[in-house]
A and B are shown apart, each in its own frame.
Chain A
Amino acid sequence: MEKIFQKLSLASATLVFVLLVGIFLTLYSAAKPAIDEFGLGFITNPEWNKEVVVPTAQDTANRAEALNSDDDAITDEDDVMIADEDDEIADEDEMLLDDEDESVTKTIYGGLVPIVGTLLSTLIALVFALPIAMGIAVFLAEIAPKNISNIVGIAIELLAAIPSIIFGMWGLYYFAPIVAGIVGGYQVSLLTAGLVLGVMILPFMAAITRDSMNTTPAVLKESAYALGATKFEVIKDIIFPYSKVGIIGSIILALGRALGETMAVAFLIGSIFVLPKAINDPTISIPVAMANNFGEASGLGESALFYLALILFIISFAVISLAKFYFLKKAK
């Protein structure tokens, strides 16, 4: 009996590693064609689903001619454009060169836009949510009377339980117009997506931070008060340092959720493959790019989506490892 139990629990623990490695390998093999095609340049390439002419020796010569005769076409091509327009220009280009000779075109995929969109929307969410979550946690753990703390605590937990699609709809119809009214710019943008993400991770962070603040031993707080500390000093010097581990843990969980959040962001980020020039420009994130494009994707396009998935996997892994590393170092 004892042995069976030990083996079962060992098997369960092993399963975690099998899953982790298995998912990584699946993603890698599906992304392999795109990785072979685009290499690491995928990460820094802002173009997505763009047809380009494969340059041959003769082609290069033609292009030089075309540069002399028709400046506009070339400069247009260099500009960052919305995917559809790019296609048209590529087509024009193709036609322009077509009467000279038979050139080969291919579609290229680059991940820069969704990678930037994911990282920036998560950063905005964190910057927005962290101070508010800390404020809520301090209020619940140290300032509010017990009955009020309990009621607000329940409200926080309910907020955490709202499905993300509801946040998306609410964000699009009610929150985004207000934000756009204040900041200007588009209603669907990096900013509105990031802020709604922030609202979504807020209750997590507040609840976990409150719980870890509540583990500060009463006698430790009393010791500080007994030295003449004020409530603010006790919170700043004793409770925060003591619950640091829990606070970092809450940030890790919140980051994990924000990086992978799809539904709410899909409503709000604008879903276009364009690098944002300002915080209130529309763009796209990795999960949204995958959710929006899997239906039609095939071949290299599908593989490129898996490449994006692999990158998201690595980003999440890296963020969590970094946070863990930081926390381990600090805890020592």
Chain B
Amino acid sequence: MPVMNIKKFSFTYPGVDHPSLKSITLPIKKNKITALIGPSGCGKSTLLRSMNRIHDLYPGNKYDGKIELLDLDTGKYQNILEIKKENEFIELRQKVGMIFQKPTPFPMSIFDNVAYGLKIAGIKNKSELKDRVENALKGSALWKEVHDRLDKSAMGLSGGQQQRLCIARAVAVKPEVLLFDEPTSALDPISTGAIEELIVELKKDVSIAIVTHNMQQASRISDYTAFMYLGDLIEYDKTENIFLNPKEKQTEDYITGRFG
């Protein structure tokens, strides 16, 4: 059962004639990792950034089609493109978290970083905050490294630690879906390995969509892969099929490194 259903979704940036995404239809399956791959400018990040409507911080975008999000409590789908009110946006973004290309620690302590999403969601109980921060940090394999300096600034952590902190921060609010926008492109291979392990670990609890430039990464960690090119979804299938037995010529050319 897909936790998100993207249906005939088109997207146009303001001041541009042609759409950046053309009638994309794609499921994000529950407790699976879906990788979005394709050459630069194919629209994979645009698609990802539409799934929590973070694009709407900047006015003037045009949408068409539907992006449906499953409400795990009621079992009903809601079209997130219809969201207009601020409180609905907040609710959406608490359900659909996001990790960015560069680590984005906030200018505050490690504890406050992880607790931030909880605090703005209205959780004030100190012991509950403490428990959930600890669990999120343990779940992000960061607890051992930072448990004795939770009150220190998050800016003092290494790049890889900062990115795991951002994952802990997103996990702490217990989202249904996590969107990763090239989460390891600014990290060294060892940190990248740790993040990849973590993402695989996380799919027990959340459904994941990840944009990546790194095809090995997509083949290593994802269950499903969508190949996009110039705003079109060329092929979507199980990851092993995409990499071992692609149906489309363009997909084969891209994954064998003939272009892109």
Q: Report which A residues bind B (CB closer than 8 A).
A: 217, 219-231, 233, 237-238, 241-242, 244
Contact = CB atoms under 8 A, between A and B. Distances in A.
A225 B54 contact: yes
Contacts of A217: 104
A227 B100 contact: no
A217 B102 CA distance: 11
A227 B169 contact: yes
A219 B94 CA distance: 17
Please provide the 10 A-B residue pairs with the shortest distance between their CB atoms, ordered closest to farther: A227-B117, A223-B104, A226-B98, A241-B107, A228-B90, A228-B94, A228-B93, A220-B104, A219-B100, A242-B107
Contact of B116 (A219, A221, A237, A244): A237
A226 B108 CA distance: 17
A257 to B, nearest CB: 28
Contact of B102 (A219, A224, A228, A233): A219
Interface centre among A223, A233, A244 (most CB of B within 10 A): A223
A226 B107 contact: no
B86 interface: yes
Contact of B106 (A223, A231, A244): A223
A224 B97 CA distance: 10
B101 A219 contact: yes
Nearest to A244: B107
Given A226-B93, A238-B106, 10 more contacts: A217-B104, A222-B57, A223-B106, A225-B54, A226-B98, A227-B116, A228-B117, A229-B90, A229-B116, A237-B116
Nearest to A220: B104
Contacts of B72: none
* Candidate in A222, A237, A244 with the most chain B CB atoms within 10 angstroms: A222
A157 B166 CA distance: 39
Interface string B94-119: 10011011101011100000001100
Contacts of A226: 52, 54, 93, 97-98, 170
B24 interface: no
Contact of A219 (B97, B104, B173): B104
- Determine chain A's interface SS by DSSP, over half rule: helix
A238 B98 contact: no
B121 interface: yes
A225 B166 contact: no
B17 interface: no
12 contacts: A217-B104, A222-B54, A224-B116, A225-B57, A226-B54, A226-B93, A226-B97, A227-B97, A228-B90, A228-B91, A230-B90, A237-B120
Interface string B178-205: 0000000000000000000000000000
Nearest to B49: A222
A156 B32 CA distance: 53
Interface in B142-199: 166, 169-170, 173
A229 B169 CA distance: 13
Contacts of A228: 89-91, 93-94, 117, 120-121, 173
Contact of A222 (B94, B100, B169): B100
Contacts of B169: 227
B93 A227 contact: yes
A189 B97 CA distance: 57
